[in-house]
Amino acid sequence: MLQTRYFAHRGFAVLAPDLPGHGLSGGAPLTSIRDMADWIDGLLASLSVAQATLVGHSQGVLVALETANRHPERVAALTLIAGAMAIPVNDALIEMSQSAPEKAFRMMTSWGHGPGAHKFDNTQPGHAFLGYGRRVMAQNDGAALHADLVACNSYDGGKDAAASVTQPSLCLLAGKDKMTPVKFGRKMAEQISGAQCHVFERAGHFLPAEFPIEVNDAMAAFLSR
């Protein structure tokens, strides 16, 4: 949201779609990263968007990479935030996402935030990062988290997809990321030809919310190249 508003007020046409079964979008959650990539391509085609810069966070990094791989003509550039070429998921968390989703929400929002969030600091006045993260996740279809975790765990095309990228790319990584550790993000950046890479040392996995000004500045510099 912070990035959407920032760029929408600075001359960019911004789309922030919810995948099926997420947020305000109906339908059943998609079950593979490749299906999500095709859905993104179909959405852009339906809106007559010939090319777009894709911005992906976490699972969205996999979707952005796969979209660039499957539909390169649709992608002008990539911004990949707190991600990696693969996101293996613990079997216990996958099971919990189905049997006790609220517990899974709590665990993931705790792991996903850096030290500042655990002190109830927030860049958005009136909100606490941990509670806000749980509310956002709870807006999705009840089956969405399980479907997403299985899709991430099953996806094996990230390395090939990253190697296929020819578009300008920016990788923004989080030094305190427990969900997609920064060493794997660096490997992703090395796999993408010519990618720029910046590490926010104090940030956790939810980097765009924890350091919105810094993320916006980095994206703005990249997009104005």
Q: Quick check: 170 and 80 in contact, CB under 8 A?
A: yes
- Cα diameter, the chain: 47
Q: Which CATH superfamily is domain 2-88+156-223 in?
A: Alpha/Beta hydrolase fold, catalytic domain (3.40.50.1820)
Query: How many angstroms separate the CA atoms of 61 and 82, rounded?
Result: 8
pLDDT single digits (tens) 143-182: 999 999 999 999 999 999 999 999 999 999 999 999 999 9
**133 has a pLDDT exceeding 60:** no
pTM passes above 0.85: yes
What do you get for the CA distance between the two ends of the chain, in Å?
A: 23
Token pair in block for residue 135 = 């509310």
Copy the structure tokens of residue 41.
Answer: 């391509």
> What per-residue confidence (pLDDT) applies to 224?
92
Percent of the chain with pLDDT over 70: 88
All structural domains of the chain with their residue ranges? 2-88+156-223
Kindly list the strands in the beta sheet with 169-174, ordered across the sheet, starting from the edge strand earlier in the chain.
Answer: 52-57, 75-81, 169-174, 196-200
Residue 64 pLDDT class (50, 70, 90 cuts): very high
Sign, Cα dihedral of 43, 47, 49, 52: negative
Whether 217 shows a pLDDT value over 90: the answer reads yes
